[in-house]
């Protein structure tokens, strides 16, 4: 029996077992009364990859299968599950169908978010056929949830490609977006139509209601070179500014990441597939320095499961406390610090392992 298997088996409770796995369990606890507490689970970025026929890349299948199995074991049961986008690697119907086939084993309702890997082959046609609308809102036990498609982009790039010669086919467009470092890609947008829909939707919501926004890309500008970026982030933040407590939860970056801009807390969720590199490497390119305002710990980017795992999130009266469970690594907590007014890491890593707040250039 290998070490990982032993570690898995020695944990008896479902929650403990899930601690080694790529699931986010989100607990909402506003009002601090038991009756109002609820949880939801969060799985993201599985990147199901088709090889041929019925063959798919096994590692990515396994990450998702494990997340689903552990999600189903959770006790108490999460009220629902959010899937944060990038079911597929290259947007193929086979990949989306296979991912959804695996996800059909999940108990309970699932809210899906569109990722760019699901979108750019056919501009979301197959995803929509299987899953329905890509932006909508719902209310759950006093929290207003908004799901956005944040991976749209400029029409002229979609129509004409990066060199104005047009795309050979949808796959050429998909591949231009599918890389981490994508010089021929185009920045993500929520876009004017969805922003107008959001403005109208939020008009109906009391400003004291906690708002949780679910997007694929961060609704903040972190690093343009890797599309850790949403071009109209400021306009979206403006729409969210009147509310007392806002949290944006996003996938895409495959790593723990958090920030605070005004009233808005930002938290990334982890991937079931693989980790992307960490923000300290952003400093290599000064022109794209991120505007992270909060000191962050970094974990170990050379550890294969570093950005995979799960976190439990408490939202006390609308603020978020994240409890990250990292497989075979030291657990971390990022709690909302009332005095500082932003999320702060509660431990313990040496100062030279942290990512300092970024300066504005
Ligand atoms: Fe992804
Ligand atoms: Fe993505």
pLDDT, tens digit (0-9, with 9 covering 90-100), for 83-139: 999 999 999 999 999 999 999 999 999 999 999 999 999 999 999 999 999 999 999
Question: Does residue 250 belong to any structural domain of this protein?
Answer: yes
Closest CA to 334 of 354, 359, 305: 354
CATH of the domain at 343: 3.60.21.10
Q: How far is the CA of 7 from the centre of ligand 2 (A)?
A: 30
Q: How many structural domains does the chain have?
A: 1
Q: How far is the CA of 141 from the centre of ligand 2 (A)?
A: 29
The per-residue pLDDT for 105 is: 96
Ligand approaching nearest to the C-alpha of 254:
1
Res. 24 pLDDT band, cuts 50 70 90:
low
Question: Does residue 12 belong to any structural domain of this protein?
Answer: no
The SS3 assignment for 288 reads helix
C-alpha–C-alpha distance, residues 93 and 71, integer Å: 25
Q: How far is the CA of 253 from the centre of ligand 2 (A)?
A: 7
Question: Does residue 1 belong to any structural domain of this protein?
Answer: no
Alpha carbon distances (Å) from 20 to 26, 110, 155, 251? 16, 22, 42, 19
In this predicted structure, the answer to whether residue 361 has a pLDDT above a threshold of 50 is: no
In this predicted structure, the answer to whether residue 219 has a pLDDT above a threshold of 90 is: yes
Alpha carbon distances (Å) from 223 to 41, 198, 208, 285, 360? 27, 25, 32, 9, 13
Res. 276 pLDDT band, cuts 50 70 90:
confident
The per-residue pLDDT for 288 is: 42
C-alpha–C-alpha distance, residues 335 and 312, integer Å: 11
What would the two tokens of residue 265 be?
A: 């807390």
Q: How far is the CA of 270 from the centre of ligand 2 (A)?
A: 11
The SS3 assignment for 49 reads coil
Q: How far is the CA of 217 from the centre of ligand 1 (A)?
A: 9
Packed helices 233-240 and 192-203: angle between N→C axes, nearest 10 degrees: 10
Ligand approaching nearest to the C-alpha of 116:
2
Q: Which residues surround ligand 1, an ion (CB under 5 A)?
A: 45, 86
pLDDT tens digits for 319-349?
666 666 665 566 677 777 778 888 777 665 5
CB 72 within 8 A of CB 103: no
Domain residue limits at 219: 22-301+317-355
Question: Does residue 254 belong to any structural domain of this protein?
Answer: yes
Q: How far is the CA of 286 from the centre of ligand 1 (A)?
A: 24
Q: How far is the CA of 297 from the centre of ligand 2 (A)?
A: 22
Question: Does residue 225 belong to any structural domain of this protein?
Answer: yes
Question: Does residue 207 belong to any structural domain of this protein?
Answer: yes
Q: How far is the CA of 248 from the centre of ligand 1 (A)?
A: 17
**pTM given for the model:** 0.83
């Amino acid at each position: 029996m290998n070490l990982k298997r032993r570690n898995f088996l020695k944990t008896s409770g479902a929650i403990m077992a899930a601690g080694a796995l790529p699931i986010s369990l989100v607990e909402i606890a506003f009002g601090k009364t038991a009756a109002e507490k609820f949880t939801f689970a969060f799985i993201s970025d599985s990147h199901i990859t088709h090889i041929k026929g019925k063959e798919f890349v096994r590692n990515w299948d396994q990450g998702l299968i494990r997340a689903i199995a552990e999600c189903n074991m959770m006790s108490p049961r999460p009220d629902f599950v959010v899937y944060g986008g990038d079911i597929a690697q290259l947007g193929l119907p086979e990949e989306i169908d296979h991912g959804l086939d695996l996800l059909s084993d999940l108990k309970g309702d699932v809210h899906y978010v569109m990722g760019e890997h699901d979108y750019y082959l056919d501009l979301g046609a197959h995803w929509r056929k299987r899953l329905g609308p890509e932006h909508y809102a719902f209310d759950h036990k006093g929290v207003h949830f908004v799901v956005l498609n944040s991976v749209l982009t400029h029409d002229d790039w979609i129509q004409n490609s990066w060199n104005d010669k047009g795309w050979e086919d949808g796959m050429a467009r998909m591949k231009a977006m599918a890389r981490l470092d994508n010089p021929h890609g185009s920045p993500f947008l929520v876009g004017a139509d969805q922003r107008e829909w959001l403005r109208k939707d939020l008009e109906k919501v009391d400003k004291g209601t906690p708002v949780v926004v679910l997007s694929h890309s961060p609704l903040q500008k972190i690093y343009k070179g890797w599309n850790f970026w949403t071009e109209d982030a400021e306009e979206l933040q403006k729409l969210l500014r009147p509310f007392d407590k806002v949290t944006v939860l996003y996938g895409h970056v495959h790593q723990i990441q958090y920030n605070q801009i005004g009233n808005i807390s930002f938290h990334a969720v982890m991937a079931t597939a693989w980790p992307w590199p960490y923000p300290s490497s952003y400093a290599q390119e000064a022109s794209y320095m991120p505007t992270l305002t909060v000191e962050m710990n970094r974990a170990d980017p050379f550890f294969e499961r570093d950005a995979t795992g799960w976190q439990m999130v408490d939202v006390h009266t609308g603020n978020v406390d994240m409890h990250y469970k990292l497989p075979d690594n030291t657990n971390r907590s990022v709690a909302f610090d009332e005095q500082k007014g932003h999320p702060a890491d509660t431990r313990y890593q040496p100062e030279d392992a942290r990512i300092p707040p970024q300066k504005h250039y």
